[in-house]
């Protein structure tokens, strides 16, 4: 296991950065090749609050192209499918032979926990490659883990990608990694693509925060939930006063209804803090992550539930659900991004367990029947995730310290829920 790749100090704050190969050089000679080539590596982060800062690319001492290359990051969303992450495309300067080359992003961006990402580059000519690296019994057959950063194993290893795609990956479809996503494996090869993530937002970041930022899928285990008119909610905590910009939820493939209401519940009073009784969703039923924009909603620091509700009396499932997410899945330690936290099952607020005995913590809760019911039901032992999210912006400005900044382009830096109803005009009611 490689160790932490960097520890930087900016403005009095210590910032941890992580790489896959911080102390391991690539091969001395490349594979001879004269056509277009795309190379990539697939990875995830296992903690919230991680920021993608840039790419590393090994250039052999001789025989490998050193001209400028383009780099890109994709969210893999299925077998042979992916979505390009906005802001992830960057072109290096001239590359230096015989070393790792650092290609920083102009602006780091946040990553979502437990999500398959593919970092890739494209060029024409020879490329670094080491076979037999990621499969069972090989050096990285259990994946390659460095703190909260983890590269997946190949398909027969023990840390497979969510969609059981290969590791590492290549394509000969072209040289532009923002157009073609490499997802073909060969001999469990390591093509010596690396990335860097940090645990702190840039000092000048004044944007919003979500639980699952830059995520365009849910998980293969996610499925449409039962055909019930109910409220589904995710418990969130705010460490400081924030504006709520949007309420998000995942509308899974195969549903034909949208949520008819959305809102924020105050956990302390069990009262609606705000409600949109006619949300205008950004996408249609079954289209994945969709949002309803809010305006003028300010929440003080505290504990809340962000919720969606479907009151359409139409048969068929409308929401999404993934089991065991908050106890043994990616959310078992909770998720924190800036001022926004979703507590794990073990430390969430008490819920009335309707299957099981007593009152237990219940992250991701629900209520059945008409709207305006506080969601306090929880199915004991399921630890379900309904994929409801909030997008918030700190009211008092940035909440974090700067991320480390690379020194040069080609040299190392120093040191669940709902779907369908025709949405009309938004109506936002506040209940302070």
Q: What is the pLDDT of residue 312?
A: 81
What CATH class is the domain 6-198? mainly beta
pLDDT in tens, 323-364: 999 999 999 999 999 999 999 999 999 999 998 877 899 999
Beta bridge partners, 237, equal 303, 341
Report, as an integer, the average pLDDT of 303-323. Answer: 90
Mean pLDDT over residues 200-209, rounded?
94
216 near 75, Cβ under 8 Å?
yes
**Contacts (Cβ under 8 Å, ≥6 apart) of 70:** 89, 90, 91, 92, 121, 122, 175, 176, 177, 178
The per-residue pLDDT for 328 is 95
Of 47-61, 82-96, 229-243, 388-402, give the lowest mean pLDDT range.
388-402
Q: Distance between terminal CA atoms of the chain?
A: 51
pLDDT tops 60 at residue 410: no
β-pairing, 230-238 vs 302-309, is antiparallel
What's the pTM value of the predicted model, to 2 decimals?
0.90
Domain segments of the chain as ranges: 6-198, 223-396+426-430
Q: Work out the pLDDT band at 399, boundaries 50, 70, 90.
A: low
Q: What pLDDT does residue 277 have?
A: 93
Fold match between 6-198 and 223-396+426-430?
A: yes
Residue 228's pLDDT band (cuts 50, 70, 90): confident
Report the pLDDT value the prediction gives residue 369, as an integer from 0 to 100.
Answer: 82
Q: What are phi and psi of 58, to 5 degrees?
A: -85, 130
Q: Report whether pLDDT(144) > 90.
A: yes
Q: Which two tokens stand for residue 279?
A: 């949300």
The string of DSSP letters for 276-321 reads: ESS--BSS-TTSEEEEEE--S-EE-SEEEEEEEE-----SS--SEE
How does residue 227 score in pLDDT terms, banded at 50, 70 and 90?
confident
Token pair belonging to 44? 């995830």
Pick 223-396+426-430's CATH classification: 1.10.10, 3.30.1310, 3.40.50, 2.60.120: 2.60.120
What span, in angstroms and rounded, lies between the C-alpha atoms of 13 and 401? 6
Name the pLDDT band for 424 (thresholds 50, 70, 90). very low
- DSSP assignment, residue 113? B
Over residues 92-106, the mean pLDDT reads: 98
Query: What distance lies between CA 267 and its chain's CA centroid?
Result: 26
Furthest C-alpha separation in the chain? 69
Tell me phi and psi for residue 374, to 5 degrees.
-65, 125
SS3 (DSSP) at 145: strand
């Amino acid at each position: 296991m490689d160790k932490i790749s960097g520890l930087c100090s900016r403005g009095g704050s210590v910032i941890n950065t992580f790489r896959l190969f911080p102390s391991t050089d690539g091969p001395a000679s490349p594979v001879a090749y004269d056509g277009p080539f795309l190379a990539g590596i697939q990875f995830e982060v296992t903690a919230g609050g991680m920021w993608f800062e840039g790419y590393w690319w090994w250039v052999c001492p001789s025989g490998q192209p050193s001209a400028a290359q383009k780099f890109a990051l994709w969210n893999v969303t299925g077998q042979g499918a992916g979505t390009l992450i906005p802001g992830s495309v960057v072109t290096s300067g001239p590359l230096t032979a015989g070393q790792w080359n650092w290609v920083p992003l102009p602006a780091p961006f946040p990553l979502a926990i437990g999500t398959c990402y593919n970092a890739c580059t494209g060029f024409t000519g020879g490329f670094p490659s080491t076979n037999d690296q990621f499969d069972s019994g090989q050096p990285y057959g259990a994946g390659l883990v460095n703190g909260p950063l983890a590269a997946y194993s190949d398909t027969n290893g023990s840390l497979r990608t969510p969609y059981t795609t290969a590791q590492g990956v290549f394509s000969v479809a072209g040289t532009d990694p923002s157009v073609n996503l490499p997802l073909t494996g060969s001999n469990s090869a390591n093509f010596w693509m690396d990335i860097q993530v940090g645990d702190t937002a840039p000092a000048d970041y004044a944007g919003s925060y979500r639980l699952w930022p830059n995520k365009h899928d849910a998980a293969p285990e996610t499925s449409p939930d039962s055909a019930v008119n109910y409220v589904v909610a995710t418990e969130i905590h705010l460490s400081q006063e924030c504006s709520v910009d949007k309420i998000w939820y995942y509308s899974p493939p195969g549903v034909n209804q949208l949520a008819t209401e959305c809102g924020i519940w105050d956990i302390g009073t069990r009262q609606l803090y705000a409600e949109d009784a006619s949300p205008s969703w950004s996408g249609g039923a079954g289209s994945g992550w969709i949002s309803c924009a809010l305006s003028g909603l300010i929440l003080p620091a505290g504990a809340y539930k962000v919720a969606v509700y479907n009151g359409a009396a139409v048969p068929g499932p409308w929401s999404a659900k993934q089991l065991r997410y908050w106890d043994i899945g990616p959310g078992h330690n909770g998720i924190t991004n800036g001022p926004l936290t979703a507590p794990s099952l073990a430390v969430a607020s008490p819920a009335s367990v309707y299957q099981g005995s007593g009152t237990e913590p219940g992250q991701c809760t629900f209520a059945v029947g008409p709207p305006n019911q506080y969601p306090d039901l929880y199915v004991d032992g399921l630890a379900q995730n309904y994929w409801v999210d909030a997008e918030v912006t700190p009211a008092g400005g940035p909440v974090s310290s700067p991320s480390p900044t690379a020194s040069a382009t080609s040299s190392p830096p120093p040191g669940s829920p709902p779907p369908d109803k025709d949405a009309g005009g938004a109506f936002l009611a506040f209940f302070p």
